[in-house]
A and B are shown apart, each in its own frame.
Chain A
Amino acid sequence: MRHPLLLGVLLLLLSIDISAQSSPVLSPRTANYDMQIRLDTEKKKLYAKTTLLWRNPSQDTIRELQFHLYYNAFKNTESTFAKEAGGLPSLLTNAWGDECGWSWSEITQIKDEYGNDLSGGMHFIQPDDNNTSDQTVLRVPLQQTVLPDGQIRIVYEWEAKIPKTMIRTGYNMDFYFFAQWFPKVGVYEAAGVRYAKKGQWNCHQYHASGEYYSDFGVYNVELIVPQGYVVGASGVLTAKKDVDEKNTSWTFKAEDVIDFTWTTSPHFIVQEEKWKDVDIKLLCYPGHEHFGDRYFRTVKNSLAFMDEYLGPYPYSSLTIVDPPIHGLFTGGMEYPTLFTSISLCFIPAGIKTTETLIVHEFVHQYFMQMVATHEVEEPWMDEGITTYYEGRIMDKYEGIESSVVDWMGIKVGNAAYNRSEFMAIDNIKIADNSYKSWEYKHGGYSRIAYNKTAVWLKTLEGLIGQSTFDKIMKTYFDRWQFKHPCKDDFIEIVNEVVRADHKDRFGEDMQWFFDQVLEGSDMCDYKLASISNQEITAPAGFLGAENECVMPAAPDGQADKSYRSKVILHRLGEVKLPVEVKITFDNGDEVVEYWDGLSRSVDFTFVGPHQISAAEIDPDRKLWLDANWLNNSYTFEKQSKGIRKYFSRFLTNLQHIMESINILI
């Protein structure tokens, strides 16, 4: 250490700087940024100066910093992102026309607070796949180390060429959306954080799926854009002024967030409403103002739900961006205190894609923004939990059977839709939930990370009851907000709460459940195989002396008849879950039996005057993981009404089609 006294004074000044924030400090504020950004709409470039104040969260001495330069993912076809995505969709590249849509990001000057030029040693690294063409992670060796719990200020100037109509980001026409756009420091995991046995940088390359893992911090960002452009961004607007005849400066401050995102266009129309102390802002294009009601209603419902079940939304602002159709690829994305949805005038209001996206992206404010899990390494903790809550909120406010579609008599519920998405996958065992985002292949990412997680969370809720489940999630949120939890932290809370609520009803802990559904890819399927009702007759044959054969008694009407009735259940899948079975007798009596679900097959036998008319496994639909609900029940009599209804419907529909085709004659 060359100037320990100077360093001490600086640290003192910097700590004053941090503690001088007006709002209560919610997070560790590890990575703090002051940025001045100038948008050049002619050259489609950003010119920026950033001051990063980084706090060492560990007891290690830090000798280097690592940065994400995610705009380099769109530098060429050789980046890891482009390769994993199998090239860019032709829809995108076709829209480029004669323009070069590729982008880059470059740090032109970088110095530490002592004036040391750090650019000499900086170089790109590829920690995930050794793809030397990938330039999305930059290692910057420090000349002055950062002591345990110490901090460092890095000042860097950088430029970026903005991609055209790229995935999640870029410009098109007058619409600009900046996501994963600035050189952002990675996460240094201290020993004990998540899976880190010793301190380590966790800074992944930009992959086609999964983005987030960042430290919390405070962002002061001045955005200089052409006059007439409207800006929406993370955080709150603290100042707006014209800097010259052509440009306006918009300054935003976002506290205790893991990222900063912004958008601008001269065409944005701003609508504003309030929920409690939260200022909600909607930015949309002309012709989309009428979507405002849907946006505000849905986001307010989501705020109320999460407030009730998890905890308050702690920020004072929430910005929703409704991108224009030519900015479609930026839609349906989550960023701190800002998210995007999609609305299209030609989609009927009864098809609730817009609402679904609003709810989903809003829930991300909690799972990944506040509970800052690692989306790349454990996508289920981000997207899966969010998808589960998407179902809860949509089904509560939009109707359990019509929350996704309620149009022309077609009704589809959200949770049911998510389940069907998972069950309809070609290979239901394609992956388990322990995969990293880029390890999922052949469509497995969304089906497993999103849908399967939502389905097994719903199954967990069914098994332990909604109140215990809600307690788990509340505890998880309270304990891990503004931190970086991992799978083990979640499971630990599940074990703790289930034990408190149910003692040892589910065993010593719930690990058996997670081994199967989270670490395993097996299928769950219980089947009600058969029902039999056998009349009990008096004993016959040589019952006593060898010369006295007792003949079977002749039937004597209905009176005093007795039956040995049996239901046989099979476990067809590998997943073993406890299950209830409801047995209904011909006099209407019902009996509920419990099966631990462990053996391959089980039967329940009853002796009495009544026959079994029907039986059903999991009558309350707790096991959402069960791959086939059709075989969960069995009736002694055929379901003739249903058969006739569907048969007659097919018949008449076919007749109508035949007559319609005749128009061509």
Chain B
Amino acid sequence: MSTLQAYGAGLRQLFQQKKLWLLLYGINFLFALVVVLPLNGLFDDTVGNSLMLDRSLIKFDFVFISEFLNQFGDRLQDWMKSASLGLFLYFVFSIFLMGGILNMLKANLTAFHQATFWSGTARYFWRLLRLSLYFLFVQALLLFAFLRIFSACGLNPLCIESDADLVLRFRWMSFIYVFAAISVFMLQDYSKIHLVHQEGSSLFKSFWSAIRLVFRNFKSCLPLYLLNLAVALLLTLLYWWLSGLPNKGSMSGIALVFLMSQLMIFVRIGIKLLNLSSANHLYRRFVGFEGRPL
């Protein structure tokens, strides 16, 4: 199976799993809504009757932002603390949901099946949690190593011959780092898939199997991952450009930008599913499960 074939199969499966897609979007929206809701009251109480608020709509208004932070920064900071907790909970809950997503992909169903999904969430939660933590550790290690190597030549500006050289060094190292980080993310995807497909295997076995599998089939795995990444980047750029077009000073403009941003969130979730399902197809091809439900 070629990269494009896997991508096509993933795309087909994505549209077959529209309910799953909607469910994930709905959870994302509701979670964010609950976290952000107190801000409505904050804006209403503090600046709801100030002319500065509506005047700040059209453009980036530094004066309004700095005034708001100066006067009500403490209250915003309190909200940010609770929002961080919300983000953490969402992170954990997403690990829980990941089990369901992978179980659906493993079952290779043509439509959303609630029992399969929810049974997967519970069954794989702890293993996926541990796996996520391990990979988090690996990513942290990678970042630490990058920073250490980057700073090994000295970061004290007074010890640096030329900032132009520093920029050049940063560019090259960033390129290498991003490539390494992408490879680890890719490995994590295949480890998850392997973990769910090979029920009995240990986490480390999943990890090593994924490494073996990815490196044996690097020519297919990497292009597929990069294709998904490129699509995501293109759509993000498109969204960025489009969201700047409506008149943000009107209620219809605000509504349009909001709808576009929700569409973008929906697309991002779709791309995440597409990435997993296309990788899943590639995985099944490599391990000989192609076409068969497990």
* Interfacial residues, chain A to chain B (CB-CB below 8 A): 91-92, 94-95, 165, 172-173, 285-288, 324-326, 328-329, 344-346, 401, 405, 409-413, 416-417, 420, 423-424, 614, 616, 628-635, 638-639, 641-648, 650-652, 654-659, 661-665
Contact = CB atoms under 8 A, between A and B. Distances in A.
Contact of A652 (B53, B262, B269): B262
A632 B64 CA distance: 12
A662 B251 contact: no
Contact of A655 (B52, B265, B272): B265
B208 to A, nearest CB: 20
B54 A641 contact: yes
Contacts of B40: 643, 647
A405 B66 CA distance: 14
A9 B40 CA distance: 86
Interface string B52-95: 11101101101110111111000000000001000100110011
A633 B63 CA distance: 15
12 contacts: A91-B158, A94-B158, A324-B162, A628-B70, A630-B64, A630-B71, A639-B51, A641-B54, A643-B43, A643-B48, A644-B251, A661-B87
B136 A664 contact: yes
B59 A642 contact: no
A189 to B, nearest CB: 39
A642 B167 contact: no
Nearest to B249: A641
Given A639-B53, A644-B254, A659-B268, A665 B63 contact: no
Interface residues on B, range: 35 or more
Interface in B180-229: 185
B146 interface: no
Contacts of A646: 39, 43, 53
A633 B28 contact: no
Contacts of B250: 641
B108 interface: no
A344 B59 CA distance: 28
B139 interface: yes
A655 B47 contact: no
Contacts of A287: 162-165
Contacts of A417: 62
Nearest to A94: B156
A409 B51 CA distance: 23
Nearest to B76: A650
A614 B50 CA distance: 9
A326 B54 contact: no
Contact of B67 (A401, A630, A638, A641): A630
B51 A659 contact: no
Q: Which of A405, A616, A646 has the most CB of B within 10 A?
A: A646
A405 to B, nearest CB: 8
Contact of B98 (A91, A165, A665): A665
A420 B70 contact: yes
B279 interface: no
B39 A638 contact: no
B235 interface: no
Contact of B166 (A346, A629, A661): A346
B66 A423 contact: yes
Contact of B163 (A345, A410, A616, A647): A345
B152 interface: no
B73 to A, nearest CB: 9
Contacts of B39: 646-647, 650
A344 B132 CA distance: 39
Given A325-B166, A639-B49, A664 B32 contact: no
Interface in B7-39: 28-29, 31-33, 35-36, 39
A638 B48 contact: yes
B265 A656 contact: yes
Contacts of A652: 32, 258, 261-262, 265
Q: Which of B159, B244, B251 has the most CB of A within 10 A?
A: B159
Interface in B252-274: 254, 257-258, 261-262, 264-265, 268-269, 272
Given A91-B156, A655-B262, 5 more contacts: A639-B53, A641-B57, A642-B57, A648-B258, A664-B139
